[in-house]
Amino acid sequence: MNPTKISACNVNVFYGASQAIKDVSLELADKSVTAFIGPSGCGKSTFLRCLNRMNDTIDICRVTGDIRLDGQDINAASVDPVQLRAQVGMVFQKPNPFPKSIYDNVAYGPRIHGLTQNRTELDEIVESSLRAAALWDEVKDRLRQPGTGLSGGQQQRLCIARAIATRPEVILMDEPCSALDPIATAQIDDLIHQMAQDFCVIIVTHSMSQARRVSDRTAYFHMGNMVEYGETEQIFINPREKLTETYVSGRIG
Amino acid sequence: MIEAAPIMTPSRTPMQQVQASLARRRRKQITLQVLGIGAISAAILMLGLLLTTLTLSGRHALTQTHLTVQVFIDPAEIRADRLPRGGFDDVVTAAIAALIPGADLSNREGRREVSAISSNGAQFLLRDLVVANPALIGQTIALRFPVSDPYDQLFKGLIDRATPEANRRLNDAQIARFDALVAAGAVSTPLNWGLLFNADSRFPELAGLRGALMGSFWALLTCFVIAFPLGIGAAIWLEEFAPRNRISDLIEVNINNLAAVPSVVFGLLALAVFIGWFGLPRSAPFVGGLTLALMTLPTIIIATRAALKAVPPSIREAALGLGASRQQVVFGHVLPLAMPGILTGTIIGLAQALGETAPLLLIGMNAFLTSAATSPFDASTALPTQIFLWADSPERGFVSRTSAAILVLLTFLIVMNALAIALRKRFERKW
């Protein structure tokens, strides 16, 4: 296992009075892919959103416990969520490009964070990000056209390019392929493999085959608990827990 | 165990039951449609009735009977060294009398009868011409001016010649004199531009809406400048930044209640606060605008909040996920996407404000003024209060002018609503 990028210790999440995450502790490795699997409502997305403090935007949500990125407590008062989210990018379930041009979509992050000094540098970032998202060849001739005009799979790759463009260290993906067809999904899967060379990628997925294909390690969530966490092969072939086995063997969920 | 009641009568299959219910469902469907079409027809009928009566009555105000006469600007009556004083009235009267065979100007009675044909404004029209160009003294010029209201009514056929003389506003001799002018070809009915470009007057043939239009313009401008930024600011804070607690709930409930407060109450408030405490001038469009802003504010806040809410949360999440601050999310993404809805709500709020009468009456924007406001602080009327004033005037000529003024107001309202629709169509985005 690569060195630890994120470590979470005794994380609890509450939505008002109900508890969505119960005492989860785990360590996420750098430059690898970790998959969170589990039935709907098990808390895997909620946990993912703790890692870039997206839960802060929900009024009734309360997070306790210790989450560290490179040893730094991300919930500390001194950490600005804006800076954290520049470091920890996110790709959402539904492709959500801005109603702007393809170029402006990718350039948005670098622009607001002031990553570039001039137009040439921005052009370079846009191109390299679109290349990294395997979208460059398809859109290089229509960068000024709206991002919303692309197909679903292209839109999701545009969102990945947009996330990459801010040069994050961690990329969170919340069921990135749930709205895509198998061909588009396969393209994203390839991308995730590529991305693991540079980033710490964490993906929530409902597709066990996708988790198996793309991830190095897998965590199984059930009813707000993290039931089991280990090498993907081991989780799928030889799970230690009964709950994990019933889920991965397809008997529930 | 109790046996469950049979779901269907055994003699009929489910398919038969569905078929039996079809007729009933279809009947309900048709009833609903008939009711809907009926409601729309009733609404269209009412609207048609309103517009028809207004047009029938208002069309008389679209033209104005004018008299064109050759006026000899008599140096004996009008002397260059005494301008702007002079016998302009007598000069005009003499010019009219020249076209009427047997007109007698030797006594006061006869002079008054002839002079009454022309509008009171004719002498001032001539005076302004001569003052602007004193070289006209001694010359003969063609002058066109409105005739006074009774003769305007006569020429438009609104005075029935068959009515017994005692019940008529013009006696036979007066009608005969006017007919002589018609026979001389001096009478014409051009379009009544004065309706839009004249200020108010006691004489219906001279009265126009310029004062009211300027008053409404200044009041709406003030209203927009105050209510638009305040409304959007309040809505953004409430929708995007305010913590959800009792205080923000209270504010929200109160804003919704404000939208339902009768406008006359806002007028009383404005009278007490703006004029009473702050000592702002009475009848001023600025105060009117402030009052209308109070009324429009809740409308704009509610429309803006609805527009902000309608922006899909995925856009907010996308921007937040990239590390945009909340301010960047709001001003970079949410507000631009909500703008069409905000503008639509604002224009509809302003259109409401344009037609609002009661609060303006309370702050004195129903004064009789013969000049148009040149700044928001001059006393002025507004379109709805001008309509109110004219509707209250006894002269017959104001009847058609009231209808015409209502048509002008309706035209502005329709234009504003059309603008709102056009903006929405233009900026509507898909995501």
Domain boundaries, chain A: 4-248
> For an interface test with A, which of B322, B337, B428 has the most A Cβ atoms less than 10 Å from its Cβ?
B322
Query: What is the three-class DSSP state of B358?
Result: helix
Q: What is the pLDDT of residue B278?
A: 93
Q: What CA–CA distance (Å, rounded) separates A44 from A18? A: 15
B-chain residues within 8 Å CB-CB of A179?
none
Count the alpha carbons within 13 Å of B308 in the hemisphere toward its beta carbon: 22
Judge contact between B220 and B353, C-beta under 8 A. Answer: yes
Strands B187-188 and B66-72, bridge-based pairing: antiparallel
User: For chain A, how many residues are written?
Assistant: 253
Q: What CA–CA distance (Å, rounded) separates B186 from A106? A: 76
Class of the CATH domain delimited by A4-248: alpha beta
pLDDT-based confidence at residue A157 (cuts at 50, 70, 90): very high
Option in B312, B316, B322 nearest A85 (CB): B322
Query: Which amino acid type is present at position B167?
Result: N
One DSSP character per residue, B61-94 reads: GTB--EEEEEEE--TTT--GGGTT-S-HHHHHHH
Q: What is the DSSP letter of B44?
A: H
CB contact under 8 A, B319 and A108: yes
Task: Calculate the alpha carbon distances from A96 to A58, A84, A230 in Å.
Answer: 19, 21, 32
Q: What CA–CA distance (Å, rounded) separates B388 from A178? A: 64
Query: What is the three-class DSSP state of B369?
Result: coil
CB contact under 8 A, B322 and A112: yes
Reduced DSSP (H G I as helix, E B as strand, rest coil) percent helix, strand, coil of chain A, to 5: 40, 25, 35
Q: What is the pLDDT of residue B431?
A: 46
A-chain residues within 8 Å CB-CB of B323?
82-86, 109, 112-113, 166
Crossing angle of the two packed helices B172-183 and B108-115, in degrees rounded to 10: 60
pLDDT (tens, 9 = 90+) of chain B, 431 residues, equals 455 555 555 678 888 888 888 989 999 999 999 999 999 999 999 999 999 999 998 998 999 999 999 999 888 888 888 888 888 888 999 999 989 888 888 888 888 889 999 998 898 889 999 999 988 888 999 999 999 999 999 999 888 888 898 888 888 889 999 999 999 899 999 999 989 998 998 888 899 999 999 999 999 999 999 999 999 999 999 998 888 889 988 998 999 898 889 999 999 999 999 999 999 998 999 999 999 999 999 999 999 999 999 999 999 999 999 989 989 999 999 999 999 899 989 999 999 999 999 999 999 998 888 888 889 999 999 999 999 999 998 888 899 999 999 999 999 999 999 988 888 888 776 54
Write the ipTM: 0.88
DSSP H or E stretch at residue A145: none
Judge contact between B209 and B195, C-beta under 8 A. Answer: yes
B-chain residues within 8 Å CB-CB of A109?
322-323
CB contact under 8 A, B431 and A112: no
CB contact under 8 A, A90 and B332: no
Q: What CA–CA distance (Å, rounded) separates B126 from B69? A: 12
The pair of three-digit structure tokens given for residue B336, joined into one six-digit string: 């631009």
The pair of three-digit structure tokens given for residue B223, joined into one six-digit string: 């209203």
**For residues A195-209, average pLDDT:** 91
Name the residue with higher pLDDT: A83 or B12: A83
If we measure between CA atoms, which residue out of B380, B412, B407, B410 comes closest to residue B192? B407
B-chain residues within 8 Å CB-CB of A96?
312, 314-315, 317-318
* B-chain residue closest to A159, CA distance: B318
Q: What is the pLDDT of residue B430?
A: 52
The pair of three-digit structure tokens given for residue B55, joined into one six-digit string: 């047009």
**Min Cα separation B42/chain A (Å):** 42
Backbone angles phi, psi at A201, to 5 degrees: -105, 130
B-chain residues within 8 Å CB-CB of A178?
none
Chain B contacts to A (CB-CB under 8 A): 243-244, 312, 314-325, 328, 332-333, 337, 429-431
Judge contact between A165 and A156, C-beta under 8 A. Answer: no
Interface size between A and B, measured as CB pairs under 8 A:
65
CB contact under 8 A, A166 and B323: yes
Q: What CA–CA distance (Å, rounded) separates B60 from B404? A: 8
Is pTM beyond 0.80? Reply is yes
Architecture of domain B210-427: Orthogonal Bundle (1.10)
B-chain residues within 8 Å CB-CB of A113?
323
**Min Cα separation A168/chain B (Å):** 9
* B-chain residue closest to A111, CA distance: B324
Q: Which residue do the tokens 């010649």 mark?
A: B161
Option in B244, B318, B323 nearest A98 (CB): B318
Going B149 to B151 to B157 to B161, the CA torsion angle's sign is: positive
* Domain parsing of chain B, residue ranges: 61-192, 210-427
Judge contact between A34 and A219, C-beta under 8 A. Answer: yes
Q: What CA–CA distance (Å, rounded) separates B59 from B36? A: 34
A-chain residues within 8 Å CB-CB of B431?
99, 148
Q: What is the pLDDT of residue B243?
A: 83
> For an interface test with B, which of A60, A74, A79, A90 has the most B Cβ atoms less than 10 Å from its Cβ?
A90
Judge contact between B95 and B71, C-beta under 8 A. Answer: yes
* B-chain residue closest to A87, CA distance: B323
Taking 60 as the threshold, does the pLDDT of residue A8 lie above it? yes
Burial status of residue A216 (CB atoms within 10 A of its CB: 0-12, 13-18, 19 or more): middle
Q: What CA–CA distance (Å, rounded) separates B58 from B214? A: 21
> For an interface test with B, which of A59, A79, A98 has the most B Cβ atoms less than 10 Å from its Cβ?
A98
Option in B243, B321, B430 nearest A85 (CB): B321
